[in-house]
Amino acid sequence: MRILPFGEGALVAEFPALDDVLAHFAALSASPPPGVTELVPAARTILVTFAAPASTAVVRQWLEQTAPHDAEASTAEDSRDIVTLEVDYSGQDLPAVARLLGVSEAEVVRRHQHCVWTAAFTGFAPGFAYLVTPENPLQVPRLAEPRTRVPAGSVGLAGEFSGVYPSASPGGWQLIGRTDARLWDAAREQPALIAPGTRVRFRAV
């Protein structure tokens, strides 16, 4: 783990792989010292923000000394229902994704539906989940030039992740389709349709 200062009120811990992030996040979120305000896991990092009485020294020591939870144990028992999202696979980057992977567009769509995806972490915007799948057969780089506006419901790919934009926002993921599912609904008891650990399947309509 490498710990870097991020302004005077935050630290970032860097890890070699997503599994390390999730194992440390599970342990850290169970034991925050007073003054820690936010703990945000991402692909290779955990962001920690804090205010008094916490200090850089206290938070750094806590990060270094908290043993990670066994990631296997924490996810194996996850028996949540699978959320199925219906997708119109006519995203504007589908041809480019097929080209990048050297397969047909139909094969991209087949693979995307065939995989069972799991939300590794959430963030970016309310309701946005970073979905992973074992040995992801759909790894493509993000766009060179991000779009200033991606419509709500857009289904995208970037690196080891797939995801759905819950609301219109700027975005740099390769868009392969669109869903009408409401990823975020403030009126629901659980506003986010997909929480960390939720399993997701996509189905073409």
Partner 1 sequence: MAFEILEPGLATTVQDRGRFGYYNVGIPQGGAMDALSAEMANALAGNTPAEAVLECTYMGPRFRTDDAAVIAVTGAPVDVKVNGGARGEWSRLELDAGDEVSFGILRGGTRFYIAVRGGIDVPVVLGSRSTYGLGGIGGLGGRPLRAGDLVPVGNGAAPDGSEPPQEIDPGLRPVFEKEVSVRVMPGLYDHRLTARGMETLLGATWTLTPVADRTGLRYSGPEVEWEPRQQPFGAGSDPSNIVDAGYAVGSIQIPGGKEPIVLHRDAVSGGGYAMVATVISADMDLLARSAPGTKTRFRSVSMDEALAARAHQRSLRARLWGSGD
Under the binding rule (CB under 8 A), the answer on residue 20 touching partner 1 is: no
Under the binding rule (CB under 8 A), the answer on residue 71 touching partner 1 is: no
Instruction: For the CB of residue 128, give the shortest distance to partner 1 in the complex, in Å.
Output: 6
Under the binding rule (CB under 8 A), the answer on residue 141 touching partner 1 is: yes
Contacts to partner 1 from residues 78-137, by CB under 8 A: 121-128, 130
Under the binding rule (CB under 8 A), the answer on residue 146 touching partner 1 is: yes
Question: How many residues appear in the chain?
Answer: 205
How many residues line the site for partner 1 (CB under 8 A)? Answer: 49
Nearest to 15 by CA among 47, 39, 38: 47
Under the binding rule (CB under 8 A), the answer on residue 3 touching partner 1 is: no
Taking CA 164 as the corner, what is the angle to CA 163 and CA 166, rounded to the nearest 5 degrees?
140
Three-class DSSP category at 64: helix
As beta bridge partners, residue 40 has 47
- Residue 130 or 202 with smaller CB distance to partner 1: 130
- Residue 32 or 88 with smaller CB distance to partner 1: 32
Instruction: For the CB of residue 94, give the shortest distance to partner 1 in the complex, in Å.
Output: 18
For residue 188, how many other CB atoms are within 10 A of its CB?
A: 10
Nearest to 178 by CA among 145, 150, 147, 143: 150
As beta bridge partners, residue 117 has 200
- Residue 196 or 205 with smaller CB distance to partner 1: 196
- Residue 68 or 172 with smaller CB distance to partner 1: 172
| Residue 156 and residue 167 in contact, taking contact as beta carbons nearer than 8 Å | no
**Residue appearing with tokens 């305000």:** 37
- Residue 37 or 88 with smaller CB distance to partner 1: 37
Tokens for 35, please give them: 């003054």
For residue 38, how many other CB atoms are within 10 A of its CB?
A: 10
Contacts to partner 1 from residues 30-69, by CB under 8 A: 37-47, 49, 56
Interface residues toward partner 1, by CB under 8 A: 4-10, 12, 37-47, 49, 56, 121-128, 130, 139, 141-146, 158-161, 167, 169, 172, 184, 186, 191-192, 195
